[in-house]
Amino acid sequence: MSDKNRRVSVTILDKEYQVACGPEEKQALVTAAADLDSRMRAVRRTGGIVGLDRIAVMVALNLCHELHQAQAELNTRSEAIAPEALERILKKIEGALDKARED
């Protein structure tokens, strides 16, 4: 293990895991592990899913679904913003050209 990557201990559903990460990533890893633990506990509380592997798969599916929704929303926003941004750029160019013509 290099000096750059240190092992960080995280606990998920009462099981401890050692994960290698750089010091600049430690807080994000700890936060992600706490979020994962919370989500897995919520799935386990429903009582419909038993077994760590099945709980993990359900949480992974939910996270992937949330990621796809966020990406779709970002794409939609980007498409909506793009014409406005292009219009602003065009106005700046036209203004610069008008100023250059005056000089």
**Quick check: is 1 in a domain?**
no
CATH code of the domain covering residue 23:
3.30.160.880
Q: 66: domain range? A: 6-102
Q: Whole-angstrom Cα distance, residue 102 to residue 42? A: 67
Residue 64 pLDDT class (50, 70, 90 cuts) = very high
Scan for tokens 């013509």, then name that residue. 101
Please state whether the predicted TM-score (pTM) of the whole model is above 0.85. Answer: no
How many domains does one find in the chain?
A: 1
With beta carbons less than 8 A apart as the criterion, state whether 18 and 8 touch: yes
Per-residue confidence (pLDDT) for residue 1, from 0 to 100: 47
Residue 4 pLDDT class (50, 70, 90 cuts) = low
- Percent of all residues in the chain with a pLDDT value above 70, rounded to a whole number: 95
Q: Give me the chain's average pLDDT, please.
A: 89
**Quick check: is 10 in a domain?**
yes
Among 57-61, 63-67, 83-87, 92-96, the range scoring the smallest mean pLDDT is: 83-87
